Structure 1
């Protein structure tokens, strides 16, 4: 009862018939899978890891600015934080010297520790500066005060750019592997893929631009935060930037008068 004539006229069992149907359906299934992958947004596909140079250059720039800050605003001893940051950076570069593709829990933790170290050092400098301005004990002349405040503000931009870059969709290595479907930040190229090259992924410079515009406009511009942590982090950056700019400029104007 379970046997029917096959294509060659030979009686075939139900199992043989199902196997033949499966063989016939396999090419169509493969074509459908390929079509689905081609329709998938470029930023969700597996891509090459981004080059290392941009994020490395940002950290080196921060270290250089830290040495330019007044002695009274730096963590003591003055060389401690820059040396710690450079050692952490060297370990990260050794793990991914050219492109950020290798992913592990330890490597990701190392990157977050580096960002935290820079943030702590700059937070200390900003707090010392703000306290001095509020109490009226900051001795710097107007020009020096503006330069110092500008350096702290710029370091703050780099720090938040690194945070956005390290946290969005699991970090640069996870983004390259397309491990997470839901973005934390929605870039224009994600909404309008025709404006971006194939396999586009946000890189550090995109997050630096996001950080810079948030520090100047005190609100999102063309990049929208999607998740709650992204919104709260952008809110924190706007508050820190606003306090630094307002207090430094007000004090400098008062000195000039």
Structure 2
């Protein structure tokens, strides 16, 4: 008589907090590297604000997601919104610089475009990670949360293969979704299901397309 194969328990990769925190730190560090020709305001202001928002998140859940508080999730959403807005301001400033007709250093333009593009990927990865099915805590099977509809359809959720029965997405999965959306300017293997994620992915792809097609291309011509 054949034995019934039990579904493996989900690994703790989906509960890890440190990859998301590290991504935020990298994004805030990139703000300090933005060339001063792009933004005249002190570059340390927004990283300082972001760091202030990040401290309570790391303090309460330094490595793994253990403490679930509503106000913590709102801090996370505010932090992501700050990153996206400031990155959009940098992008607009760069476009204005190009439209002004002033002679700009090509290396400065390439550096600024690269920093904007990377920050765009990190910020939206955090956004997807925080809102999909109500956030990382709501996705944990061991926590009692009201189940929400999935915002993203991962391939692992549609296959019937041994070892993938109780798969749960981690931050790396959302980072890959954001990366592909910024390179292909459209969904690839993971499909957006809800209007809010479709809107976010449209904004992200638009910013990435504008950064690469308008700014990077112009910078190469200047070089």
Report the TM-score when normalising by structure 1: 0.76
Moved more, 172-181 or 83-92: 172-181
Q: Which residue of 1 aligns with 2:137?
A: 173
**2:98, 2:104 within 8 Å by CA — same for their partners in 1?**
no
- RMSD of aligned C-alpha atoms? 2.5
How many residues get paired? 216
Q: For residues 52 and 61 of structure 2, what CA distance do their matches in structure 1 show?
A: 15
Structure 1 residues 195 and 167: alpha-carbon distance in aligned structure 2, compared to 1, 3 A threshold: farther
Q: Which residue of 2 aligns with 1:154?
A: 118
From 142, 150, 157, give the equivalent of 2:106.
142
Structure 1 residue runs without a partner (length 5+): 1-37
Higher helix share: 1
**1:142, 1:252 within 8 Å by CA — same for their partners in 2?**
yes
Q: Which residue of 1 aligns with 2:150?
A: 183
Larger radius of gyration: 1
Deviation string, structure 1 residues 72-92 (Cα, Å, up to 9, x no partner): 434723211111111211110
Deviation string, structure 1 residues 144-173 (Cα, Å, up to 9, x no partner): 311210111110111111111111111111
Structure 1 residues 255 and 241: alpha-carbon distance in aligned structure 2, compared to 1, 3 A threshold: same
What SS is found at the alignment partner of 2:161?
helix
- With a CA cutoff of 8 Å and minimum separation of 6, indicate the structure with the bigger relative contact order: 2
TM-superposed CA distance for 1:94, in Å, is 1.1
What SS is found at the alignment partner of 1:100?
coil
Report the TM-score when normalising by structure 2: 0.87
Structure 2 residue runs without a partner (length 5+): 1-5
TM-superposed CA distance for 1:42, in Å, is 7.7
Q: Which residue of 2 aligns with 1:217?
A: 184
